[in-house]
Amino acid sequence: MKTDAILSNLKEGGYRMTRVRRAVVAALSGSAVPLSALDLKTLLSEAAMRVNKTTVYREIAFLMDRGVIHEIQFGDGKMRYRVCPEAHHHHAICVRCSRVEEITMENDMKKHERAIARRRGFKVLSHTLEFFGLCNSCNGK
């Protein structure tokens, strides 16, 4: 579990350790799928922890600001969050079970970015790339 590593990092940074902070970090680092704010609130409630939704949003903002988590758009109007990975990468999102696999292809993307800069003078600063489809276990149904 990387929960402890994240929390001790934050502690070293001089930030307070609160119930909600511990619970949100644990929930996110223990989840295979990205979680929305409401997902988080529900999870905490199920763990008998009473939390206000505003607090959840503020904790998300806090963790985003410190680069602990990042957000993903599924395109349904809700932001989802998950603990930041080591390097920039993309996602293959299962439209059936919402499981997310990480896709690394930075060499290719860098190549494309250079091509765009060369051919049209457009200086690429960032990009988003998500694949939607059926994961291995959802495929055969």
Footprint of Zn ion (CB under 5 A)? 94, 96-97, 99, 135, 138
SS3 at position 112: helix
Residue 100, number of CB atoms within 10 A of its CB? 20
Handedness of CA 94, 30, 85, 68 (dihedral sign): positive
Beta pairing partners, 108: none
8 contacts: CB under 8 Å, gap ≥ 6: none
Binding mask 29-58 for DNA (x = CB under 7 A): -------xxx-----------xxxxxx-xx
Site size toward DNA (CB under 7 A) is: 26
The interface region with a second copy, picked from 1-9, 20-28, 44-52, 93-101 by CB under 8 A, is 93-101
By CB under 7 A, tell whether 11 contacts DNA.
yes
Name the minimum Å distance from CB 129 to DNA: 20
Half-sphere exposure at residue 135, Cβ-oriented, CA atoms within 13 angstroms:
15
List interacting residues with a second copy (CB under 8 A). Answer: 73, 75, 77, 92, 94-95, 101, 103, 105, 108, 112-113, 116, 120-136, 139
